[in-house]
Amino acid sequence: MTPSQGPLSHVRVLDLSRILAAPWAGQILADLGAEVIKVERPGAGDDTRTWGPPFLKDAQGRDTREAGYYLAVNRGKRSVTVSLEKPEGQKIVKELAARADIVLENYKAGTLARYGLDEASLRKINPRLIYCSVTGFGQTGPRRDQPAYDFLIQAMGGLMSVTGEKDGRPGGGPQKVGVPIVDLMTGMYAAVSVLAALARRNETGVGDSIDIAMLDVQVATLANQAMNYLVSDKVPRRNGNAHPNIQPQDVYACADGDVILVVGNDGQFARLCEVFGQQEWVSDQRFASNAQRVRNIAELSALLRDEFVQWEREKLIAALDKAGVPCGPINTVADVFKDPQVKARGMLRYVPHASGVDAPQVGSPMRFAESPLQTQAAPPLLGQHSDAILGELGYSKGDIEALRGAGAI
């Protein structure tokens, strides 16, 4: 494996996690150059390996065992299979923890303590260890022992109450976000937390224990909707694509397709009015300020829809771009990767995969001038690096075969 030159190239991460939230944090750290060792169950591995179709195709066009879901969150890692239930496996994990800076795990609260792999046990071995536990509900509270998935937390955490079309309209009713956003944001918070603990350790020499709960993350990221409620005592409701605080922002139909309009301030609204030849709207007291536009959006939106439908989509986007008014198409995922800006930023990359094909990967959005990120290795096959990692720990070939025969790896 080519040594990384990223800003975390000096950091080792022991990734005991699976599914999405904590593995996403591990992938961020790998993108930043950390050495990330992913511990997986012998014979099965991370659950997401089987979450398909679709699966990566081999050179003959046949499905491999690598699901797209798994490939989305595990690049740049090394995979070693270890049975946590067996004493030999527990010994391996402890040896890896002794060499690690960070441990990521997302087992139910209390599970790893049964194997002697909890935070207290591993920090006796390595006091400098930063131990990050990611769970659905955290290490405390009445739900601490319960499992959770993104869909459940989107519902419990209020996100689905403000996502989707208005009740009573076609398509109305609660909707989850189209990507597992709680998992992703939890992974982001976990990555930020371990990096903060790492910076603190550089000052104190002492590691830390971090407790990240998906429900906490969802409550925190209710953001403006939460504060809207807290300052008004009015419960936010689903409002389709219309923004609750800034207007006009919505989907509008042109003569040949839909566009989104995002007016963020009064100056942009004035320029929008100029493009439509409706300068009188700027001085209309119903629309003169954002607060008034929010209060009177029904009237304004009706006027805007009459204007939009007279334009062809591309001509209107070009006119509003020239005027400095944010407006754009609603791209499919396929359209996204054809977009010239996305191409220019190198957001789609292909990396050699152990199955013998080049696997597609979505690039990291992080850009560093002084320590540029390298394209990371493809997500590993199950146990792809077991022999190499155990060899680095001092196990001989005979030892490794004995462990494999005992079902410990």
Catalytic site positions: 183
Task: Count CB neighbours of 267 within 10 A.
Answer: 11
Find residue 102's DSSP bridge partners. Answer: 13, 130
Q: Looking at residue 395, what DSSP letter applies?
A: -
Query: Quick one: tokens of 12?
Result: 């080792």
Q: Is 182 helix (H, G, I), strand (E, B) or coil?
A: helix
What are the angstrom distances between the C-alpha of 30 and each of 81, 305, 365?
A: 19, 47, 13
- Measured in degrees and rounded to the nearest 5, phi and psi for residue 252 equal -125, 145
Q: Is 377 helix (H, G, I), strand (E, B) or coil?
A: coil
User: CA-to-CA distance for 155 and 153, rounded, in angstroms?
Assistant: 5
Contacts of 379 (CB under 8 A, 6+ apart): 66, 70, 71, 73, 74, 75, 77, 353, 359
- Measured in degrees and rounded to the nearest 5, phi and psi for residue 189 equal -65, -40
Can the peptide bond before residue 147 be classed as cis, meaning omega within 30 degrees of 0?
Answer: no
